[in-house]
A = this chain, B = another copy of it.
Amino acid sequence: MALNIHIYPKREEWDALLRRPTKDAAELEAAVGEVLRTVREGGDKALRELEWRFDHVRLQDLEVSQQEMDEALETVSPELLGAMELAHRNIETFHRAQAFKGERQRVTDGVVCWQKSIAIEKVGLYVPGGTAPLFSTVLMLATPARTAGCREIVLCTPPGRDGHVNPAILAAAKVAGVRRIMKLGGAQAIAAMAYGTESVPKVYKILGPGNQYVTCAKQMVSMAGVAIDMPAGPSEVMVLADEGGNPAFVAADLLSQAEHGVDSQVLLLTTSESMARKVADEVESRLPLLPRRETAAQSLANSRLIVLRSDEEMMEMANLYAPEHLIIETQNYMELAEKVVNAGSVFLGSLTPESAGDYASGTNHTLPTNGHATAYSGVNLDTFCRKVTFQHIDEKGIASIGRAVELMAEAEGLEAHAGAMRLRRERTEGTKTEGA
């Protein structure tokens, strides 16, 4: 296969070059809406029927038992368990450092306000099944949820046809400290966590990646008031490289994104035409060696290797695209890092592949795709918390702001708002007069 190399594209071609595939959601919404209704009305019974229909499995207990958990742990190699524990520690370290310490602010004389970060009490985590058991996602969601202090954490993941959950997923749940695991996939899992059933607790926020049904279900329940992490889309990487980079490293980074799925988005921006050609050659020679070469080849057919004239153009295009993952493999990577405005997670230098952050460096791999990095953060400790504001006002504070509050309330035609302050002002002024 030949990769698409675009040399010095004109500015008016940029939008077309950066265009992502779009899908019509209407048909999807009808199908997902039907699943949501079925679960809301039918509870556990409906869940069992839907698991038969979609995951082809007959379940009695929807929840993973202690015995299943114990058995799973025995089948996972000590080496893999050790790797999971290392990843868990690093994720915990990085997310724990994000803890918010709200300080009391004396906003003006007699007015003290502060924020307190409080964990969301009940969260639901979704971990997809599918061709590969994505146990790393368990760590990326459950470890920060536990670090934040969420009281109730429920995890849904689809079982195999044998009725069991992949052992690596259960092992990761054990490492991250999740106790309640439900054998549920797809839109029915999201519905169960949004509405609650006999077995599945209703939660306040649902997080995690998934296919288009899961994503649509999350967005639909968010309209009914359940919070979600972010809208999801196909995974993406954009690599920035100059003539001094290592074409083998760059090619490996592009391939590791391409193997995710046929709709993965893979882009290289470079100021060096020879680098673009070397990377294309490396990709083509390495591709046939990959087990997932067919998936990667389809994704690479839509990839773009774009040669630009300057670092400024590279950063402008990167910020316009707002990639989920941005790898900056140039000599001046710290300088370019300062110019990042729109990206989910940024990987700096030639020894920082995306796969480090996908698994074990400590950063989260649940990130905004599809250009949503313009407005959304990736999952972080704040994703599992709310900031509640507190305020306390004393006599001096009433004197500082009381009159302004009354004037503004009156001008908005809200006399009772003005009255609630006026009453305090008159009493405290009275006190002061009496005291004087």
Contacts and interface: CB of A to CB of B under 8 A. Distances in A.
Interface of A: 25, 79-80, 82-84, 86-87, 89-90, 93-94, 97-98, 103, 105, 107-108, 111, 113, 115-116, 118, 120-122, 131-136, 168, 204-205, 219-220, 222-223, 225-227, 231, 248-249, 252-253, 255-256, 258-260, 286, 290-292, 296, 337, 340-364, 370-378, 380, 382, 386-395, 397-398, 401, 403-405, 407-409, 411-421, 423-424, 428
Contact of A97 (B105, B220, B260, B409): B105
B414 A132 contact: yes
B113 A362 contact: yes
B413 A360 contact: no
A-B complex: 8 closest residue pairs judged by Cβ atoms: A227-B375, A83-B404, A107-B362, A204-B375, A252-B420, A132-B413, A353-B420, A355-B417
B133 A248 contact: no
Given A80-B411, A343-B388, A351-B397, 4 more contacts: A258-B416, A259-B415, A355-B405, A378-B387
Contact of A359 (B86, B346, B405, B428): B405
Contacts of A376: 227, 386
A80 B361 contact: no
Given A97-B105, A225-B372, A80 B407 contact: yes
Given A105-B94, A227-B376, A386-B375, A394 B355 contact: no
Nearest to A111: B361
B404 A225 contact: no
Given A352-B391, A398-B351, A405-B356, A292 B361 contact: no
B113 A374 contact: no
A416 to B, nearest CB: 4
A345 B392 CA distance: 11
A377 B116 CA distance: 10
A92 to B, nearest CB: 10
B256 A349 contact: no
A390 B170 CA distance: 30
A84 B84 CA distance: 54
B362 A292 contact: no
B135 A388 contact: no
A337 B111 CA distance: 17
Contact of A248 (B25, B168, B286, B423): B423
A217 to B, nearest CB: 11
Nearest to A132: B413
Contacts of A374: 120-122, 204
Contacts of A79: 407
A256 B390 contact: no
A239 to B, nearest CB: 11
Contacts of A255: 416, 419-420
A364 B253 CA distance: 44
20 contacts: A80-B407, A89-B108, A90-B107, A90-B108, A94-B105, A121-B341, A133-B411, A292-B415, A296-B416, A352-B392, A355-B417, A356-B393, A358-B405, A360-B408, A364-B389, A373-B386, A373-B388, A377-B387, A378-B388, A378-B389
Nearest to A90: B107
Contact of A355 (B89, B259, B345, B418): B418
B361 A249 contact: no
A346 B391 contact: yes
Contacts of A414: 132, 256, 259-260, 292, 355
Contact of A403 (B83, B107, B357, B404): B83
B391 A120 contact: no
A80 B386 contact: no
Contacts of A131: 413
B98 A115 contact: yes
A414 to B, nearest CB: 6
A404 B90 CA distance: 11
B86 A415 contact: no
A393 B352 contact: yes
